[in-house]
Amino acid sequence: MQRVASSSLLRHKKVLKKGTKFSLLVCGPGGSGRATFVNALIDSQLGESGDKVKQLIHRTEVAPEEAHIEPGITLEPWTETLYDEEGGALSITFVDTPGFGDNINNEVVFPELLGFIERQYDNVLAEENRIRRNPKFRDDRVHVLLYFIEATGHGLRELDVELMRQMSTRANVIPILAKADTLTPSELAENKRLIMEDIEYHQIPIYNFPYDPEEDDETIEQNSHLRSLLPFAVIGSNEVAVVNGKRCLVRTYPWGSVDIEDPRFSDFAVLRNVLLGSHLEDLKEATHSILYENYRTKKLSTNDSPLIDQSATPDMSEESFVAREERLRAEEARFKEIEEKVQREIAQKKRELLERERELREIEARLKNELVVEE
């Protein structure tokens, strides 16, 4: 059954075009609130019958005779469709990672995660090089990796550092501070500070809401504010309550309850808007133009490229090498041409926006003058 979200999740009309697709990988240790966060994100935990949606994340029982074997992780993708009142649709593929953090040596899961992301890149690369494209091809590239970090009071663990360092070469990594409601305001601020200091110290290239100094003031201010909130602190809950006539997701305690969207305690509402509205297209563009293109360039320059015939006989090796070099030069020229074209289009869009802003200011000034004359 498809799940329907409130229109507030899909404020930006450019995102609402039919067929818009987005892929999100959630990663973190068991008990960090991944399932609760996902259910809250799509705002559909409870139906009219009051029945809860099935548990999204599960682990199979391990037989005693297999207890010595590292369980690894299980990558579980599923797709949800969010609608707005005007019929706009956003199809989101979630990829969960049950089992992460359950191994004695958790670094064994890194190749599995990287392999999954790279397989999606390989599928796109193979499709790009088909003579006849498949009109039903599904692009499942991961656009963002949400990494749930447990608050320790000591910054990042070694596992956190290595996971984010390796994954950020293939995905837009956004760090999440899980279960923010277990921390006092001062503890929350301190944990955020320590985590960001470690990220900076280890030079981990997370997605930090980049912006060009030449962009408009509103964009710079928005991205600077979002950068200052990292890692996003979230409170998870799927308990629905009506507060002042408004349907809310709340977390209940013996002393009361808190709305998980209350900005005094949680960054959930901000993060939701980033993922499903304001930065959805930016994350997709960064995935395609930066992460995928870097992977593609490296892939084409190695012998495991799907474009290179590995069955060539030894006496054809020199010919294959020459052909490969020519192909690489052609690809590099094409990359450069694409980059120059994109830069020209961006410059043209900026000029158009500046011209439009100038026209609007002139109209505003003229209207003010007309009002003064009428008075």
What are the pLDDT digits (tens) for 131-141?
A: 888 888 999 99
The predicted model gives 263-284 an average pLDDT of: 93
Cα→Cα distances 27→33, 51, 74, 175, Å: 10, 27, 11, 10
Which pLDDT value is given to residue 90? 87
- Specify the pLDDT at position 311: 42
At residue 307, the pLDDT reads 52
Residue 322's pLDDT is what?
58
Statement: residue 368 has pLDDT above 60: yes
Per-residue pLDDT tens digits for 246-256: 888 888 888 88
- Residue 249, φ and ψ in degrees, nearest 5: -95, 120
Cα dihedral sign, 220-224-227-233: negative
Beta carbons of 100 and 28 less than 8 angstroms apart:
yes
Q: Is the peptide bond before 64 cis (omega within 30 degrees of 0)?
A: no
Q: How far apart are CA 249 and CA 239, in angstroms?
A: 5
Please give the average per-residue pLDDT across 160-178, as a whole number: 96
Q: Which of 87-91, 150-154, 171-175 bottoms out in mean pLDDT, i.e. has the lowest?
A: 87-91
Angle between helices 293-300 and 317-374 (to 10 degrees): 160
Instruction: Check residues 371 and 81 and name the one with the higher pLDDT.
Output: 81
Residue 71, pLDDT > 80, answer no
**What value does the mean pLDDT take over residues 143-159?**
94
- Residue 19 pLDDT: 65
Pick from 127, 138, 135: nearest CA to 23: 138
Query: What is the mean pLDDT of the segment spanning 326-350?
Result: 76
The whole-number pLDDT of residue 27 equals 94
pLDDT at 267: 95
CA distance 211 to 219: 8
pTM as predicted: 0.72
pLDDT tops 60 at residue 105: yes
Q: How confident is the model at residue 162 (pLDDT cuts 50, 70, 90)?
A: very high
pLDDT in tens, 278-322: 999 999 999 999 999 999 999 988 755 555 444 434 443 444 555
pLDDT score of 271 more than 60: yes
pLDDT at 134: 86
pLDDT band at 268 (very low <50, low <70, confident <90, very high): very high
What is the predicted pLDDT for the residue at 370? 78
Question: How many whole angstroms separate alpha carbon 56 and alpha carbon 70?
Answer: 23
pLDDT tier at 102 (50, 70, 90 boundaries)? low
Q: Residue 48's pLDDT band (boundaries 50, 70, 90)?
A: very low
Pairing of strands 246-253, 76-83: unpaired
The residue-averaged pLDDT of 62-75 equals 56
The Cβ of residue 289 has, within 10 Å, a number of other Cβ atoms equal to 13
Return the pLDDT at 83: 77
pLDDT at 195 over 90: yes
**Residue pointed to by tokens 């199809």:** 91
- pLDDT, residue 331, reads 73
Name the E strands within the chain. 20-27, 76-83, 89-96, 144-149, 173-177, 232-233, 239-243, 246-253, 256-259
pLDDT at 36 over 70: yes
CA pair distance 146, 200, nearest whole angstrom:
18
pLDDT of residue 62: 46
pLDDT of the residue at 341:
78
Predicted local confidence at residue 324, as pLDDT: 63
* Listed residue (190, 93, 187) closest to 143, CA to CA: 93
Report pLDDT for 305.
56
User: Is the model's pLDDT at 54 over the cut of 80?
Assistant: no
